[in-house]
Amino acid sequence: MDLGISGHAALLLGSTQGLGLACARALAAEGVKVAVNGRNPDRTASVAAELGGVGISGDISDPAERARIVTTAREALGPITILVTNAGGPPPGPVEGHDHETWLRALETNMLAALECVRLTLPDMKEAGFGRIVNVTSFTVREPYPNMGLATAVRAGLTGAMKSLSHEVAPLGITVNNLLPGLMDTGALERVYKAQSKTHGISEDEAKARMAESVPMKRLGTAEDFGPACAFLCSRLASYMTGQNITVDGGIVRSLT
């Protein structure tokens, strides 16, 4: 199936491992020119070489780095018409267990970074009359999960801002959607089940198994379950979908909406 986006330029934040990398691979397979981003320069260069794209190392939690990352991607690939935002999640734990600085870091990394990169790439999308913004958030935006209050709060804030943005840019051929991963077998989830093993006094393997058992499909998700959904939302086939939260979770969210 031709997704109609071959030749477009995409910037993917936090895309050298896990779900971000899955998105980058899916887009590259569709002929999209990809700029991948990560904090580790060697890893970033390796992934870029694998995908035939551009690697831009840098920490999106640093406001000074964001403009450089976007500018470098634009100089290398041309106008950026696809943006996928992604960042490692904040630490798990009870809400009362996070101090002020931890909250500020989470806001900077998981909300403000995405909003700033959107602001910097929107002119390219408006000029092209086409744009796709996909934010990788979490299923906890729709259904809170134990010890994930910090992540839920900052991602819910991002969700609200992106919903408003989706209405503002809809007449311009630009869509804004969020992809909500469930319990995916990635490094980010490892931090969660390690924390649960300590809380409940069980082994890490048992904590991981319990999480898998809690999913209706009785398994954790994989990166391969996730990337194609991202590519579809970036495609021309999804041109009438905007302002949506698309959950990729094996059925763990039980709400009707």
Q: pTM for this one? A: 0.93
Q: Are residues 176 and 124 in the same domain?
A: yes
Q: How far apart are CA 143 and CA 254, in angstroms?
A: 8
pLDDT at 255: 84
Q: Looking at residue 67, what is its pLDDT?
A: 95
Mean pLDDT of the chain: 94
The full 3-state SS of 114-172, as one line of letters, equals HHHHHHHHHHHHHHHCCEEEEEECCHHHCCCCCCEHHHHHHHHHHHHHHHHHHHHHHHH
| CA–CA distance, 61 with 41 (Å, rounded to integer) | 16
C-alpha torsion angle, residues 55, 162, 190, 60 (rounded to 10): 40
Residue 194 pLDDT level (bands cut at 50, 70, 90): confident
pLDDT tens per residue, range 40-53: 999 999 999 999 99
Nearest to 138 by CA among 1, 23, 212, 249: 249
**104 shares its domain with 196:** no
Flag whether 118 is in a domain. Answer: yes
Query: Are residues 227 and 213 part of one domain?
Result: no
- The predicted pLDDT at position 256 comes to 81
Sorted by sequence, the CB contacts under 8 Å of residue 7 that are 6+ apart come out as 31, 32, 33
Same domain, 141 and 241: yes
Report the interhelical angle of 187-200 vs 204-213 (nearest 10°): 110
Which position has the token pair 């391969």? 224
How many domains, in total, are found in the chain?
A: 2
Q: How far apart are CA 208 and CA 115, in angstroms?
A: 33
Are 192 and 174 members of one domain?
Answer: no
- The predicted model gives 86-98 an average pLDDT of 87
Q: Is residue 257 part of a domain?
A: no
Q: Are 182 and 248 in contact (CB under 8 A)?
A: yes
Dihedral angle, C-alpha 22, 23, 25, 27, nearest 10 °: 160
Mean pLDDT on 141-147: 85
Among candidate residues 186, 208, 187, the one with its CA nearest the CA of residue 197:
208
Task: Look up tokens 């503002």; give the residue.
Answer: 168
User: Cβ(70)–Cβ(121) under 8 Å?
Assistant: yes
Q: Give the per-residue pLDDT at 189.
A: 79
- Asked if 95 and 204 sit in the same domain, the reply is no
Taking the C-alpha atoms of residue 135 and residue 67, their distance in angstroms, rounded to an integer, is 18
Confidence of residue 191 (pLDDT cuts 50, 70, 90): confident
In a domain, 253, yes or no: no
Residue 83's domain comprises 9-182+222-248
Instruction: Enter the DSSP assignment of 243.
Output: S
Residues 175 and 211 in one domain: no
- Read off the pLDDT of each residue in 116-137 and give the average, rounded to a whole number: 98
Helices (H), the chain: 18-29, 41-51, 63-77, 100-107, 113-128, 149-169, 187-200, 204-213, 223-233
- Do 73 and 199 lie in one domain? The reply is no
For residue 107, give the CATH number of its domain.
3.40.50.720
Lowest-confidence segment of 7-21, 154-168, 201-215 by average pLDDT: 201-215
Q: Percentage of the chain surpassing pLDDT 70?
A: 100
With cut-offs at 50, 70 and 90, classify the pLDDT of residue 101. Answer: very high
